[in-house]
Amino acid sequence: MVAGAIEAMSAQLEKLGNPSSLHTQGRAVRKELEQAREQLAKAIGCHASEIIFTGSGTEANNTALKGLFWKNRPLGRNVVVISAIEHHAILDPAHWLHDHDGAEIVSIAVTEKGIVDLDALKSLIDTRGDEIAVISVMHSNNETGVIQPIAQIVQLANLAQIPVHSDSVQSFCKVPLSFSELGLTAMTLSAHKIGGPLGIGILVLKRGIDIPAILHGGGQERDIRSGTLNAPSIVGFAVASSLPIPVEQIAQLREVFATGILKAIPDAYINGGSANEHLPGIVNITFPGTESDTLLLLLDGQGISASTGSACTAGVQRPSHVLLAMGHNDKTARSSLRFSLGATTTRLEIEKVIELMPAVINQARTANLR
Ligand SMILES: Cc1ncc(COP(=O)(O)O)c(C=O)c1O
């Protein structure tokens, strides 16, 4: 967590008082919580009353997708549209709606660059727009960093009055992001992606839109998310959102890293590398002839953390659904690694990885031949 957020959160942890209580202590906590809400609203480009605090980004995604589906299904809209590259926190609730609630799920393909195919979405809306309950497309992808054309998606959706939700967990505070300018109905954010605390998320839900809740109880947060508000985490989230992330510096390092790796390993290639817009700190690289699990362990042995982006179920590594959707086969998807750069990443670290990489790749290729 970033230092300022830790301090603000620690100070709040010492305060007694449930923000929903009417006594003096409760009102004092409520006041600080509402100031944090205002601060976050400014950073998000929404109205404070549009913020619904949740326990995670996963919860916000579930609440938005299920809520908008349940709201619109009685109007004859039984189709849930997602992209093929969504995080599991959207994929899985969508599949749940199919299995338990009879929703029809349509997954929109992405191009080789990892960008949602707008033509496919347009023709779906042209032919079946009045059947669609909700469209959910992430603002940027967590594995490739590729940014999605959300404003254009909203424009298309508006033609058939379809609400659009966007999982914007990866984009917040890293690239320009404004809820009102995008014209979204709903948006998801999570504090731990910006140096805030774990276990606190936001569902931004347009004013005047009411959706059925998943949690029922005390009626907090417009009766959409009951439960005592986590004031310390909310205050920590707000402070984290106000501290600038050195995105220029991170983007420059990403450039140095990508160029250096491609020079060191000439047959390696960057997934989504030809997309015009991407996050400053994520780069996903395929190293042909390797197994990403082996690479990961070899790099870990050198003190370098990378990730495969694939889900591990019952010990079986699966290839990334994001890379498969971008045209990879199982083998090449399994030869890919995601590197994340942040505010604390240094040029020295980047140079060290570039220098180590040829030997690591050789070792991984030899292991793969055995
Ligand atoms: C794109 C995306 N959506 C949703 C989530 C889930 O957020 P949380 O960890 O707050 O549940 C993540 C977390 O990694 C993510 O990267």
pLDDT of 339 > 60? The answer is yes
- In this prediction, residue 321 carries a pLDDT of 96
Tell whether ligand 1 has an atom less than 6 A from the beta carbon of residue 190. yes
Report which ligand 1 atom has the smallest distance to the Cα of 58.
Answer: 11
pLDDT band, very low/low/confident/very high, at 368 (cuts 50, 70, 90): confident
Domain boundaries, the chain: 3-242, 247-369
Distance 128 CA to ligand 1 centre (A): 30
Query: 3-state SS of 20-89?
Result: CCCCHHHHHHHHHHHHHHHHHHHHHCCCHHHEEEECCHHHHHHHHHHHHHHHHHHHCCCEEEEECCCCHH
Closest CA to 209 of 247, 279, 161: 161
Tell me the mean pLDDT in the region 180-209.
Answer: 98
pLDDT band, very low/low/confident/very high, at 273 (cuts 50, 70, 90): confident
Q: Which pair of structure tokens corresponds to residue 288?
A: 């042909």
Residues 30-68 pLDDT 10s: 999 999 999 999 999 999 999 999 999 999 999 999 999
pLDDT band, very low/low/confident/very high, at 316 (cuts 50, 70, 90): low
Residues 213-246 pLDDT 10s: 999 999 999 999 999 999 999 999 999 999 999 9
Q: Which pair of structure tokens corresponds to residue 221?
A: 């947060």
Rounded to the nearest integer, the mean pLDDT of the chain is 95
Report which ligand 1 atom has the smallest distance to the Cα of 140.
Answer: 1
- In this prediction, residue 311 carries a pLDDT of 53
**Ligand 1, atom 8: closest residue by C-alpha:** 57
Tell whether ligand 1 has an atom less than 6 A from the beta carbon of residue 166. no
pLDDT band, very low/low/confident/very high, at 276 (cuts 50, 70, 90): confident
Q: Which residues of 18-36 are buried (b: 16+ CB within 10 A; e: fewer)?
A: ebeeeeeeeeebbebbeeb
Query: Hey, is 140 helix, strand or coil?
Result: strand
**Ligand 1, atom 7: closest residue by C-alpha:** 57
User: How many degrees, rounded to 5, is the angle at CA 85 between CA 80 and CA 90?
Assistant: 45
Tell me the mean pLDDT in the region 174-199.
Answer: 98
Quote the pTM value.
Answer: 0.96
Report how far apart, in Å, the C-alpha atoms of 278 and of each of 93, 139, 149, 188, 264 are. 26, 10, 11, 19, 23
pLDDT band, very low/low/confident/very high, at 257 (cuts 50, 70, 90): very high
pLDDT of 312 > 60? The answer is no
- Residue 203's Cβ-count burial label (10 Å; 0-12, 13-18, 19+) is buried
CA distance 114 to 111: 5
Q: Which pair of structure tokens corresponds to residue 256?
A: 């140095």
pLDDT band, very low/low/confident/very high, at 310 (cuts 50, 70, 90): low
pLDDT of 181 > 80? The answer is yes
Which residue type occupies 333? A
- In this prediction, residue 245 carries a pLDDT of 94
- In this prediction, residue 284 carries a pLDDT of 97
pLDDT of 358 > 80? The answer is yes
Contacts of 269 (CB under 8 A, 6+ apart): 262, 285, 286
Q: Are 285 and 336 in contact (CB under 8 A)?
A: yes
Q: Which pair of structure tokens corresponds to residue 129?
A: 């727009």
Report how far apart, in Å, the C-alpha atoms of 263 and of each of 227, 258, 273, 295 are. 53, 9, 15, 18
Q: Are 104 and 73 in contact (CB under 8 A)?
A: no
Please name the residue ranges forming H helices in the chain: 3-13, 24-44, 57-72, 88-101, 118-128, 150-158, 179-182, 231-242, 247-264, 292-301, 321-325, 330-333, 347-369
Active site (catalytic) residues: 312
Q: Are 252 and 239 in contact (CB under 8 A)?
A: no
What percentage of the chain carries pLDDT values higher than 70? 98
Residues 296-307 pLDDT 10s: 999 999 999 999
- In this prediction, residue 315 carries a pLDDT of 57
What is the CATH number assigned to the segment(s) 3-242? 3.40.640.10
Distance 265 CA to ligand 1 centre (A): 31
Distance 322 CA to ligand 1 centre (A): 15
Query: Hey, is 123 helix, strand or coil?
Result: helix
- In this prediction, residue 309 carries a pLDDT of 72
Q: Are 365 and 290 in contact (CB under 8 A)?
A: yes
pLDDT of 313 > 80? The answer is no
Tell whether ligand 1 has an atom less than 6 A from the beta carbon of residue 89. yes
What percentage of the chain carries pLDDT values higher than 90? 94
Task: Map tokens 């694939």 to a residue.
Answer: 310
Tell whether ligand 1 has an atom less than 6 A from the beta carbon of residue 142. yes
Strands 336-340 and 282-286, sheet pairing: antiparallel
Domain 247-369 = CATH 3.40.630.30: no
Closest CA to 174 of 161, 193, 157, 158: 193
Best of 58, 165, 282 for a ligand 1 pocket test (most atoms within 8 Å of beta carbon): 58
Q: Are 293 and 311 in contact (CB under 8 A)?
A: no
